[in-house]
Amino acid sequence: MSRIGKQPVDLPAGVTASLSGQTIEVKGPKGTHSFTATDDVTITIGDQSIAVTPRGKSKRARQQWGMSRTMVANLVQGVSAGFKRELEINGVGYRAQAQGNNLKLNLGYSHEVAFQVPAGITVTTPKPTEVVVEGTDAQLVGQVAANIREWRRPEPYKGKGIKYKDEYIFRKEGKKK
């Protein structure tokens, strides 16, 4: 039994859901998103909740059950509250600056990195050493944050680089004489 799949997804106030075949469409104050589930699960919309159940006892149906429920929950959270990923920049002279749909990064290279922000994502820099990635699509927010982090991953000796705000960098001891 899927512990995640058993739980219904509650619809907050201002969020509506509609079902056509295996495609569920969720509308809220931050926009509209849809997800097409496989034929292994059944999606039912109640008065204030959405339930996902498997159509059989096969292994694939049980796998799709929990995944489909999580995808529906991400749709509901995305259109109601949105998703946010925070990054920190550590290092002397390392900084970021948001300019429209571009993010300029100074990361110790001989040139400035210009990162193009995709549509549907908002990147802000409250401080020169902080980057906040926000959007309504959980996968896209995480992917953009990972792409920004990839420009200069944190290294274990001094901890320089771009890291997630909640990430712990395992520090190594340097050479000894």
Backbone angles phi, psi at 60, to 5 degrees: -65, -40
* CATH number of the domain to which 35 belongs: 3.90.930.12
* pLDDT value, residue 162: 95
Same-domain status, 88 and 29: no
- Residue type for position 177: K
Residues 96 and 150: beta-carbon distance below 8 Å: no
Same-domain status, 103 and 159: yes
Residue-wise pLDDT for 2-22, tens only, equals 688 889 999 999 999 999 999
Tell me how far apart the alpha carbons of residues 80 and 15 are, in angstroms, rounded to a whole number: 7
Tell me how far apart the alpha carbons of residues 91 and 107 are, in angstroms, rounded to a whole number: 8
* pLDDT value, residue 1: 60
Single residue among 32, 65, 80 that ends a domain in this structure: 80
Same-domain status, 107 and 69: no
How many distinct structural domains can be found in the chain? 2
Q: Is residue 177 part of a domain?
A: no
pTM: 0.87
Same-domain status, 73 and 109: no
Same-domain status, 101 and 54: no
Tell me how far apart the alpha carbons of residues 102 and 148 are, in angstroms, rounded to a whole number: 12
Q: Is residue 170 part of a domain?
A: no
Single residue among 80, 101, 125 that ends a domain in this structure: 80
Same-domain status, 87 and 115: yes
Residue-wise pLDDT for 64-90, tens only, equals 999 999 999 999 999 999 999 999 999
For residue 39, the enclosing domain spans 9-80
User: Which parts of 21-176 are beta strand (E)?
Assistant: 23-28, 31-36, 41-45, 49-54, 83-90, 95-99, 102-106, 113-116, 121-124, 130-135, 161-164
